[in-house]
Amino acid sequence: MTDGPVLDLHADLADLLQSLIDVPSESREEQALADAVERALSAYPHLVLTRVGHTIVARTDLGRAERVVIGGHLDTVPANHNLPSERRDVDGEDRVYGLGACDMKGGVAVALQLAATLAEPTRDVTWVFYEAEEIDSQFNGLRILAESHPDLLAGDFAVLMEPSNAVVEAGCQGTMRAEVRTTGTRSHSARSWMGHNAIHDAGDVLRRLAAYEPRQVEIDGLVYREGLNAVGISGGVAGNVIPDECVVAVNYRFAPTRSSAEAEAHVREVFAGYDVAVIDTVDGALPGLAHPAAAAFVAAVGGAPSPKFGWTDVARFTALGVPAVNFGPGDPSIAHSQGEHCPVGDLATVARGLRAWLTA
C-alpha cells in the first residue's frame, strides 16, 4: 500500500465526510480512497480485513448469533465542478456539499466510524466498502465479491447505505430495458407513396404506452408502483427520405414479486405484433421486512419504512438469500447533481439508528 491521505475515523462525522469527498474517487479511480480506507481500518484489531481489487471487507468475528452485512460504495460519478467539499448552512440546515456528498460518502462516513468504534457489536458485522457501483455492472465490486467470495457476504440481514433520507427503504423494483422496433420502406419524401413510413407506425407503440395502466403491488404493507415508459425514440434517415426504421426504447420498472422472465413476457404482451428486443433486465428485491432480523432493525432505527422504487445493489443481497434494505443519509433525488449535498443531521440520525441496533 502506498502512502496517501489519512482518514481520522474518530473525527466529527461531517469532518470525516469532507475528508472522504476530498479524496477523488470516480469509478475506476478508487485506488487512493480504497488504500486510505484499508489503512485506517487496519488500525483496529477487532476487524479482520480482506481486499479484493479496490473493495475492502472488514469483519468482526465475535461468534454472535447473528451476522449482518453493512455496505456502501466508494466511487462517484465524474466531478462536475463540485470539488473540494464545502460545509455550508443553507435554509437553516447544516450541510456538506461536494461530489459524492449524497451518493454516497455520507453513508460511507457513518459506516467507517461505526466499524472503528463498535469493537463489540451485539451482532457480528461484515462492513463492505466497494468499488465501481456507478458504472457498468461488469466492474461492480459487490457483484465481483458475490461471485468470487460469496462467503464474505453471507449474513442474516444486510443494510445498503445508499441515500434514503435517513429512513428505511425496503427492497427494490426490478428494471428492464427493451427496444420496440417498427420497420418500413425508404423512398424519396417527394414520392412518399413509394415507401412505407416506419415512424408513423410507431404511433401505435406510443399509444399503447400512453394508455398503459401500471400496477400498484402491495408487499409487506408497502406499495410498489410500477411504470412502463418510453425513455428514448429515434428514427429518420435524412430530411427528404421516408424512414424505414423507428426504435422506441422502453424502460419497465416492476414490483419485486415479478421475475425478470415474467416482466419480459408482460412487455412482449403489451407490444404484441411488434419486434421487441430485450436489452437487459435485473430482478428486484423483496422487502423481506417479515424476517426477524429486518423487524429488529426497523424497530431499532425507528420510523416507517418506505418502498424503494429504484433498483439498487440490495437486489444483489437478495439474490444471495440475504434480506436487505436501503438506509442512508441524504436525499436520493439530488444524487448525481452538481449541487449534491448531505445534511449533517442525517449523518447523526443514521449513525444513531445503526448504533442502537448494533448495541441492543
Residues binding a second copy (CB under 8 A): 173, 175, 177, 188-193, 197, 199-207, 209-210, 214, 225, 227, 229-243, 246, 248-249, 251, 253, 309-311, 333
Q: Which is nearer to a second copy, 126 or 326 (CB)?
A: 326
Q: Which is nearer to a second copy, 9 or 248 (CB)?
A: 248
Question: Is residue 250 packed enough to be buried (19+ CB in 10 Å), middle (13-18) or exposed (0-12)?
Answer: buried
Quick check: is 151 catalytic? no
Contact 7, 36 (CB under 8 A): yes
Q: Which is nearer to a second copy, 203 or 302 (CB)?
A: 203
d(CA 225, CA 212): 13
CB of 103 to a second copy, least distance (A): 13
d(CA 181, CA 201): 9
Q: Which is nearer to a second copy, 141 or 174 (CB)?
A: 174
Q: Which is nearer to a second copy, 241 or 296 (CB)?
A: 241
Cell of 50: 480482506
What is the CB neighbour count within 10 angstroms for residue 349? Answer: 19
CB of 185 to a second copy, least distance (A): 13
Quick check: is 75 catalytic? yes
Strands (E), the chain: 48-52, 55-59, 67-73, 86-90, 93-97, 124-130, 157-160, 169-170, 174-183, 187-188, 216-219, 222-225, 227-235, 241-242, 245-254, 275-282, 306-307, 324-326, 341-343
Q: Which is nearer to a second copy, 231 or 272 (CB)?
A: 231
CB of 270 to a second copy, least distance (A): 13
d(CA 81, CA 287): 37
Query: Of residues 30, 75, 124, 226, which has the active-site annotation?
Result: 75
CB of 229 to a second copy, least distance (A): 5
CB of 279 to a second copy, least distance (A): 9
Cell of 212: 398503459
d(CA 246, CA 235): 4
Query: Of residues 30, 103, 124, 133, which has the active-site annotation?
Result: 133
CB of 148 to a second copy, least distance (A): 28
d(CA 18, CA 33): 13
Contact 267, 274 (CB under 8 A): no
Q: Which is nearer to a second copy, 128 or 205 (CB)?
A: 205
User: What pairing do the DSSP bridges indicate for beta strands 169-170 and 306-307?
Assistant: parallel
DSSP letters, 236-274, are -S-TTEE-SEEEEEEEEEE-TTS-HHHHHHHHHHHTTTS
CB of 163 to a second copy, least distance (A): 13
Residue with cell 456502501: 72
Active site residues: 75, 133
